[in-house]
Amino acid sequence: MLTMNRRRFLGTSAAAGAALVGGLGRLPTAEAASAASQLTPGVPSGIASYVTMGTLPGKKPLIQLSDRPPNYEAPLEYFRTAITPNNEFFVRYHLAGIPEDIKAETYRLKVGGEGANGPIELTLDDIKKLPAIEVTAVNQCSGNRRGLSTPHVAGVEWGYGAMGCARWKGARLKDILAKAGIKKETIEISFNGAEGPVVEKTPDFIKSLPTWKAMDENTIVAYEMNGAPLPYFNGFPARLIVPGWTGTYWMKHLVEVNALTKPQGGFWMKPAYRIPVGEFPVVARFLTQEDATSTPITEIVVNSLITSHRDGAKVKRGKVTVSGLAWDGGYGIRTVDVSTDGGKTWVSAKLGQDHGRFAFRPWSFELNAKHGKNTVMVNATNRIGQTQTAKLLFNGAGYHNNVMQSITLVA
């Protein structure tokens, strides 16, 4: 029997002696003081005054940016493998009303809406009886790297670590929708999770997808993550997986799916999670939600990250292996190029194992480190020719930061 009583689990699994803050554990003060060293260079300096390394049940220490709702970033060192272990995966919630008691055997998913032939209700076992697929995909918060915006913008000040890549197993959403029968008039599919507001005036977190994306064969309702049941803080017992699109659509603790014949009109579709029309080179657009000036954020832009070394790290002179990850919205990584002269010349890095077009792609480069400072800049290009930008494409929400990263290594 899979069950999770949040109070009981938190009480028995938190680190010994940790204080519970808003229901979540924190490491002792001496340990918390080291959290500032884990922050991404460039995030607002004030974060260091309150950030700590937080402990959640089933997780290694994560950078705790807030505890109500829980928003925990993965340190850079957790990205040295293409598949992010469950206990190193970041945690992102919009609302603090997280259910305290979730049981797999009493879980129900309601499917209906005016675009459906009729409402139905599925158990977790019902979902597991549908044909299962596994897709390896990056889950990246829409605001990943928001803290690096210049000037700084409001919101959770994420550095590099509001993302992770896992093997997700579940049933295709289109197979679940087929159980209810979807009318041809349906233009969007909306989603609601068990996460809810604690203040009555706060809008519930409800999202939608265009029907074509909801019906994509890779869009699934997952119940497993890396071969195990979903962790509680990553959506147990079932969550939506939308490969290639940012994490705002990846609804955790999924409890309701509705077929819509009119655009979903809630706060979390508009005004939230919008970008200026034409600002970014994205292919997939959400046209039923688009207006003259703004459009919903959709696919992940091509990006890369150096994970083997932190900026300013000391290395030995001679050959040094610099490595990291690259990813995009599902077109696949074609090349990763490295520059050691500030972008004047570029050399192709060696690509590692291909885990699928939605996954992290490892890369490595042999640097001949000379005495003193050595700069390393990285730039990924995907298979449709999209590449990273040299200058931030500023927007008020801090989305889509894919500026080419540059670090200095001291030999």
Which sign does the torsion angle of CA 386, 388, 393, 395 carry? positive
Residue that terminates a domain, selected from 35, 59, 92 = 92
Domain that holds residue 323: 303-410
- pLDDT, tens digit, for every residue of 159-184? 999 999 999 999 999 999 999 999 99
- pLDDT, tens digit, for every residue of 115-146? 999 999 999 999 999 999 999 999 999 999 99
- Asked, for residue 62, whether it belongs to a domain, the answer is yes
**Contact between residue 109 and residue 257 where contact means Cβ atoms under 8 Å apart:** yes
- Residue 96 scores a pLDDT above 60: yes
Residues 121 and 256 in one domain: yes
For the chain, the domain total comes to 3
Residues 204, 407: Cα–Cα separation, whole Å: 41
Q: Which two tokens stand for residue 39?
A: 């922050």
Residues 16 and 107 in one domain: no
Residues 402, 390: Cα–Cα separation, whole Å: 8
- Residue 1 scores a pLDDT above 60: no
Residues 248, 140: Cα–Cα separation, whole Å: 9
Looking at residue 65, its pLDDT comes to 97
- Asked, for residue 98, whether it belongs to a domain, the answer is no
Residues 156 and 290 in one domain: yes
Q: Is residue 100 very low, low, confident or very high in pLDDT (cuts 50, 70, 90)?
A: confident
- The owner of tokens 């029968």 is 181
Give the amino acid at 381.
T
Give the amino acid at 329.
G
- pLDDT, tens digit, for every residue of 295-314? 999 999 999 999 999 999 99
Residues 194 and 215 in one domain: yes
Residues 111 and 206 in one domain: yes
- Residue 257 scores a pLDDT above 60: yes
Residues 83 and 158 in one domain: no
- CATH for 361: 2.60.40.650
- CATH for 287: 3.90.420.10
- The owner of tokens 């659509």 is 249
Lowest mean pLDDT among 15-29, 80-94, 280-294, 372-386: 15-29
Residue that terminates a domain, selected from 269, 296, 323 = 296
Give the amino acid at 133.
I
Q: Which two tokens stand for residue 400?
A: 């889509």
